[in-house]
Structure 1
Amino acid sequence: MATIALSGVTRRFAGTEALAPVDLTVEDGRFAAIVGPSGCGKSTLLRLVAGLDRPTAGRVSADGRAIGGPGPERGVVFQQPALFPWLDVAANIRFGLDEAGVPRAEADRRVAGWIAAVGLGGFERALPKQLSGGMAQRAALARALAPAPGTLLLDEPFGALDRITRNEMQDLLVRVLSATPATVLLVTHDVEEAVYLADRVIVLSPRPGRIVADLTVDVPGPRVRTAPEFVAMRARVEDALGAAMERA
């Protein structure tokens, strides 16, 4: 696991300021969700942490070391599964293990374990085009976690799924992370999802994105979406998001 820190981070695109100066620390092993209106810089922030983009100003680091590009210590899952279409499920999951030089026997063990963990037994040889959306995201999650990254970055990973499948995937993520801890940063438009999964919910303002609220989710697990304390926490986040929109 790793502590992720952004210090005075801004990002501009062709004169448009996507992120205002952002200072944020996500401690080792914590789960933080980022919510905000469309276009506020949520995905931009995540891409900076992933090393897929660089800040215009400021510093992004993991355990005090500047992030200068992608790395196996940071697993990423996007809204679209982005599986290699020519590889079957097992080969997709083991791709990062092969790239890291993990010995064959150990890679085989990890792949089998992750296929079981995400409920894809019997689909080891299926190609991505043969999978449903939920199954494809299960494979993408397993691929991201198989190399045992210290940080997991999630960019609207369940946004394209129907509500029932989305809830199932949220429950799967809770189970997986209980057995494989990581520092997690989630970008989502779904306030309920943020409250269900995260320890903290960070609210960004409309563009340029800046942090306007940082709320601790003090709801004991296992969380129940209809429980009074859960509903109250969701309302707090929605109020903070609404206040940010009004100020804008």
Structure 2
Amino acid sequence: MPASSTAAVALSGVSHSFGPLGVLGPLDLTVGDGEFVALVGPSGCGKSTLLRLVAGLVTPTGGRITVEGVPVTGPDPRRGMVFQQPALFPWLSVAANVRFGLDEQRVPRHEGDRRAADWLAAVDIAEFGTALPATLSGGMAQRAALARALAPEPDLLLLDEPFGALDSLTRRDMQALLERVRQRTSATVILVTHDVEEALFLADRVVVLSPRPGRVVAEVPVPFDHPRDDALRLSSEFMKARGEVEAALAASRPTSEPVRQPASELQPG
């Protein structure tokens, strides 16, 4: 979905620390209504922390976060989240996992069943509704986790490296799936990823964070129309955008100190 000029998510002067260790910010970031933004940056720069702050799972050390103009003070069912691991309830069937958020919202059972079946079909695992999570492959489990996050029809979808643990072929399949599923929802999406190609394939804008404490160092608009397919990855325009993001990542890293030889290896003279 294209973004509107309305801010769905706004972070103002947001920072976070774990004890004396500053991991994020301060930073400012605005995400438009219906926009898909990908966050990239080196490990430990606070990307996942930022996502948890927006979800209301963690309280920022400083600054202010609003979603649809309302301050974030805790979790909200209008914000769906998919984690790095599927985190499905092992004792519930796949369909019951997808329906879980709807049951918590007291959605009538027949409507919950309908929505669960609809989203299981949308992520291509309709035939596994009665199965237990232990019988699913990693990719199938993440499909179920995505369906569970989308079934309550959230205004905001937060994706924390959802495909990071998958093999490269399954990961590409999941990226294509998310690109298709995106056409079914008007939700604003924020994705955390280490994969620059993934960010450019899926997002409308890529936000580059610096090493810890993470700050916004670049924002790269992605000019490609949706829907997108694998042929896009081979285009010169895609390669150019990838180079821009990778250059921003490289520029954000501190200059390395020269490697010093151990004294035992130094030659006299």
C-alpha distance in 2 between matches for 1:76 and 1:220: 25
C-alpha distance in 1 between matches for 2:17 and 2:142: 31
C-alpha distance in 2 between matches for 1:246 and 1:226: 31
> What count of residue pairs does the alignment treat as equivalent?
248
Which residue does 1:162 correspond to in 2?
167
Equivalences for 1:54-65 in 2 at 5 Å? 54-65=59-70
- Candidates 216, 220, 243, aligned match of 1:235: 243
* Greater RCO (CA < 8 Å, at least 6 residues apart): 1
After TM superposition, the score normalised by the length of structure 1 is 0.97
- Secondary structure at 2:147's aligned position in 1? helix
- Secondary structure at 2:126's aligned position in 1? coil
Question: Shift of residue 247 of structure 1?
Answer: 5.7
Question: Shift of residue 70 of structure 1?
Answer: 0.9
C-alpha distance in 2 between matches for 1:219 and 1:172: 17
2:99 is equivalent to residue 94 of structure 1: yes
Encode CA deviations 1:175-221: one digit per residue, 9 max, x unaligned.
Answer: 11101121000000000000000001000000111000011011234
C-alpha distance in 2 between matches for 1:52 and 1:237: 29
- Candidates 117, 121, 132, aligned match of 1:127: 132
Which residue does 1:118 correspond to in 2?
123
Encode CA deviations 1:129-179: one digit per residue, 9 max, x unaligned.
Answer: 100000000000000000000000000000000011001101111111101
After TM superposition, the score normalised by the length of structure 2 is 0.90
Q: Which runs of 5+ in 2 are unaligned?
A: 257-269
Q: Which moved more, 1:202-211 or 1:216-225?
A: 216-225
Which residue identity is paired with 2:158? Answer: L
Equivalences for 1:30-49 in 2 at 5 Å? 30-49=35-54
Equivalences for 1:48-197 in 2 at 5 Å? 48-197=53-202
Equivalences for 1:13-24 in 2 at 5 Å? 13-24=18-29
- Secondary structure at 2:170's aligned position in 1? helix
Q: Percent identity?
A: 63
RMSD across aligned C-alpha pairs, in angstroms?
Answer: 1.3
Q: Which runs of 5+ in 1 are unaligned?
A: none
C-alpha distance in 1 between matches for 2:109 and 2:131: 21
Runs of 4+ off more than 6 Å? none
Which residue identity is paired with 1:225? Answer: R
C-alpha distance in 2 between matches for 1:246 and 1:101: 51
